[in-house]
Structures are given as structure tokens and as C-alpha cells.
Amino acid sequence: MKFRLILVFVLLFAVLSEGAGPARAGAALYPDLRTLPPTNLYFDRVVYGDGSTHYVLRFANTVWNAGSGRLTLEGQKRSKIYQRVFDAPQGGNLVQRIYIGNDSIYHEGHEHYHLENFASYLLLKKDASGVYQATTKKGTKTSFCVMDTSRVSGSYSAQFTSCGRTYQGMTVGWGDTYGASLIGQWVDLGYSPLADGTYAVRSTADPLNKIAESNDGNNRASTCFTVRSGTISIITC
């Protein structure tokens, strides 16, 4: 009888001790990167490093996080880049640490790294049958410092208010906006102005699908427009 009582107390202590320990991590919550249609389209001319002058189509672009989890990117100078996945939109437990590549450029002056291939831009032209076909005109901006710059939806406070030396990311409901006037924020049109016609500029978030998301099928958005004698008019796609 005495042995049985001791055994009961031991088992009860074990159960209570386990319950008093740290909470186990919950399910992983992933970001869902989406792109708002590009805005503020206008033509410009820029001089490249080799002295050549190119016509460009400038525009503003916002990639935002519509998922249930935040986007957290971890990387340092000339190091591998990892995505950190948690079980809560803010705070919570680290559930996964996913290697996503070495696509980074470290800026000594800024003291942070830029992630390459976070977004891509492409010009499309409407053909005689009414279908928008891809052209060879692409965006030149390939590296991004990911952070919260504008709230798109929800009420979460921004967690990534600067481009850190180790961590970058995007809070749920927040977007990273690049204005049309920034260097490289354009599609290079070459040595001639864009001819009259009907076009679309398409932005794609995470075009190489390296970032773990809850939905990889909604990363594109386009803005359609016409060109008449050098004047841009936005139309419905």
C-alpha cells in the first residue's frame, strides 16, 4: 500500500511539473506576399554608368503581407539568408528556420544587406488578338531592403521600421513601398521612347519562389495603360 502511494505521488509530481514547463510551439504561421498594382507611372530618361542615355518607365510599387504570419529574414554580411517562421503574428515561438539562399548584397555605407530577387518587373504589350504578351523590357531593380513602410490592412503595429543589419521583414498587413523616383525603380525601355500602343507593367513578388508562403499563386499584379504621343493613360486590364 505504501509503495502504491509513493508511485501515485511520483506520477502526480511528473504531470504537474510537465504542465508547469514552457508552452510548446504552435503551428507555423506563414506570410502571404502580394503585390498592389503599380502606380504613378511616368516616362523619364536616365544616364547609365557607361554614359549611355536610356528611356525608362518609372512607377511606384508595393509588396505587402496578407498572410497570418510575419515575414522575418535573417542574414548578415556575406552570409546565408534564412527565413524565420513563428507561431504568432507578433511574439510567439520560433517554429522553423528555413534556408532560402545567398541572394544578398551587403551595403557598407548603409550597414545592412539587400535581398536580391524579392520582386521583378516586366512590360507587356497587347497584341492584335487582345492578349497581353511579355516583351523583353524588364525592371533593373533586383535588390530590396525589406521593411514596413505602409499599412495596407489590419491593426498590427509595425515590427520592422528600419532596415536592420541582421533582421528584415514585413508585419502582417504591412507593405514595403518603393516610390517611382527611386534609383532603379523602372522598366528600361532602351534607346527609344515607347511606341504608341496598349501595355501593362507587371510586378511579381518573390519571382523565384524562395520564400515560404501560405499561397504562392497570388504574387502578381498589373497596371494597364495606353501610350499616345508620349502620354500615358491608365485603363482597366
Domain containing residue 120: 26-235
CB 64 within 8 A of CB 176: yes
Question: Would 9 be classed as within a structural domain?
Answer: no
Q: What is the DSSP string of the chain?
A: -HHHHHHHHHHHHHHHHHHHSPPPP---B---EEEPPPEEEEEEEEE-TTS-EEEEEEEEEEEEE-SSS-EEEE--TT--EEEEEESSSSS--EEEEEEEES-EEEETTTTEEEEETSEEEEEEEE-TTS-EEEEEEEB---EE-----EE-SS-PPPS--S--SSEEEE-TTEEEEE-TTSTT-EEEEETSPPPSEEEEEEEEESTT--S--S-SS--EEEEEEEEETTEEEEE--
Question: Would 228 be classed as within a structural domain?
Answer: yes
Q: Count up the domains in the chain and report the number.
A: 1
Q: 144-172, pLDDT tens digit by residue?
A: 789 999 999 999 999 999 877 788 999 99
Block residue for cell numbers 527609344? 192
Check residue 227 and give left, alpha or beta (phi > 0: left; psi -120 to 50: alpha).
beta
- What is the Cα–Cα distance from 97 to 213, expressed in whole angstroms? 13
Q: 13-22, pLDDT tens digit by residue?
A: 333 333 444 4
Q: What grid cell was written down for 118? A: 524579392
Residue 2, pLDDT above cutoff 60: no
More reliable by pLDDT, 114 or 52: 52
Question: Would 162 be classed as within a structural domain?
Answer: yes
Question: Would 37 be classed as within a structural domain?
Answer: yes
Question: Would 4 be classed as within a structural domain?
Answer: no
On average, the pLDDT of the chain sits at: 86
Q: What is the DSSP string of 200-226?
A: EEEEEESTT--S--S-SS--EEEEEEE
Question: Would 65 be classed as within a structural domain?
Answer: yes
Question: Would 150 be classed as within a structural domain?
Answer: yes
Q: 24-68, pLDDT tens digit by residue?
A: 879 999 999 999 999 999 999 999 989 999 999 999 999 999 999
Question: What's the pTM?
Answer: 0.84
Question: Would 152 be classed as within a structural domain?
Answer: yes
Residue 113, pLDDT above cutoff 70: no
